[in-house]
Amino acid sequence: MTDKINDISRELRELAEPKRAETHQRFFKTGRGEYGEGDMFLGIRVPHVRKLVRKFRGLSLKDTEELLHSRWHEERLFALLVLVDSFKIADGKLRKEIYDLYMGSMQWINNWDLVDLSAPHISGAWLYDRDRKPLHEFAESNDLWKKRIAIISTQHFIRKNDYTDTLAISEKLLKDNHDLIHKAVGWMLREVGNRNLEAEEKFLRKHYMSMPRTMLRYAIEKFPEEKRQKYLKGKIRRS
């Protein structure tokens, strides 16, 4: 462990809030059989972690990887935010190294906040003008976090007005049985609708009667109340 890692770990622990840690243990479902089973929290607010990322900007990939392998949630979060920050200003070679590190670190990107704060900015950004097959393979896996990374990564594409993979991956995940996937897909469909309502509704008219209720509710959250109720009551004509 390098001196810099020791400094980061020490400063993170100075920011720790034990009562917040207890709350996070419950909020992020860390109990036996829950999706975040065994995760350990220090209880640090995300803005404080971001501030520390700026302080240690330029951290080596080797040190970042070591922190990403930590048992502590906030150390893994710190490492992922370092990768996001570094990716934004890196050249092509370093971006590829960051992407490869990210995609090879799935066992440590193991809660929804870790996915949501990193996937669009690393896997999504790298794959935007490349073969997106890795995301489709993730969507077809049995791993909860790979599936969430697959759909959340497409947020980067959506921001570029590119919806093809969002809709294709959403279709792959329609029959998934996990609430965190239902919420993620519904969220990304809503993001599509924020930019192209016709594209979202074309997808919804085809699938809304069979998609999980939570997914539908997230997807239509911003719709006018009358239209929202028609979807919820099955009164929209299917295409």
Predicted pLDDT of residue 1: 75
Determine the pLDDT at residue 39: 96
pLDDT score of 239 = 67
pLDDT (0 to 100) of residue 238: 80
Helices (H), 143-224: 144-153, 155-159, 164-172, 179-195, 197-207, 213-219
- What's this model's pTM, rounded to 2 decimal places? 0.96
- Sorted by sequence, the CB contacts under 8 Å of residue 159 that are 6+ apart come out as 120
For the chain, which ranges sit under pLDDT 50? none
Among 118, 125, 128, 126, which residue's Cα sits nearest to residue 148?
118
Which amino acid belongs to residue 171? E
Task: Return the closest-CA partner of residue 121 out of 144, 99, 136.
Answer: 99
Contact 12, 42 (CB under 8 A): yes
- Residue 237, number of CB atoms within 10 A of its CB: 6
pLDDT score of 185: 98
| pLDDT, tens digit (0-9, with 9 covering 90-100), for 158-214 | 999 999 999 999 999 999 999 999 999 999 999 999 999 999 999 999 999 999 999
Taking a C-beta distance cutoff of 8 angstroms, is the pair 49, 78 a contact? yes
Residue 77's H or E segment, with its range, is helix 73-89
Domains of the chain: 1-109 (no CATH), 118-239 (1.25.10.90)
How far is it, in rounded angstroms, from Cα 209 to Cα 239?
11
Give the separation between CA 49 and CA 66, rounded to whole angstroms: 17
Closest CA to 134 of 95, 155, 165, 111: 165
Which tokens go with 112? 């929804």
